Amino acid sequence: MSSLEQELGFSEETVQRIIGDSLNVHLIAVFAYGLYTIIFIVTIRHIVARGQWPLQRVALTIVVCLIWALTTIDFGFVWNEAYVTFVTHGQTQDSVLRFISGRGSWTSKRLAMNRLAVILNATLAELTNIWRCWVIWNRRWLVVAFPLLGVICGLLSAAFFLAIGFRLAK
């Protein structure tokens, strides 16, 4: 049993499960990103195949591309974390466990940047859905007022937590 395993109070079996679960999470993220990229390509192909480009279709295409780009940025952070965890710190179980348990080199600034990409992605998706509801419900503000209030509250709380994350990074 290594010093970190003793310090954290984990058995050898628990350590194996933690490391295996971390690897599985990263592999599932790769698979999900691949599926999402295929869906993105098919969506863009269908949008382009229609031929006509009214303003709403151009706006929707830009939003879809931005959401995919933000997802790609998030996936880049996930891939980097997997690389650092299992390649850079993969010499021993102790080094992998140390990194996974939060005592590694994953900085608060990188974590805050990853969270920023995720928050922007979710906000853009929510605003797109609100815009669609607004159009479908014949531009009635009463229908979208509550969801808009939820997005604003979510952005304020996300900004608060991001500010804390950047403050911790200093």
Give pLDDT, residue 69. Answer: 95
Comparing 41 with 107, the larger pLDDT belongs to 41
**CB–CB of 151/127 below 8 Å?**
yes
Q: Can you state the angle between helices 108-136 and 141-169, rounded to 10 degrees?
A: 170
H or E segment to which residue 84 belongs: none
What residues contact 113, with CB distance under 8 A and at least 6 apart? 77
Share of the chain above pLDDT 90, in %: 29
Q: What is the pTM of this model?
A: 0.77
Per-residue pLDDT band at 160 (split at 50, 70, 90): confident
- Quick one: which of 108, 125, 119 has its CA closest to 158? 119
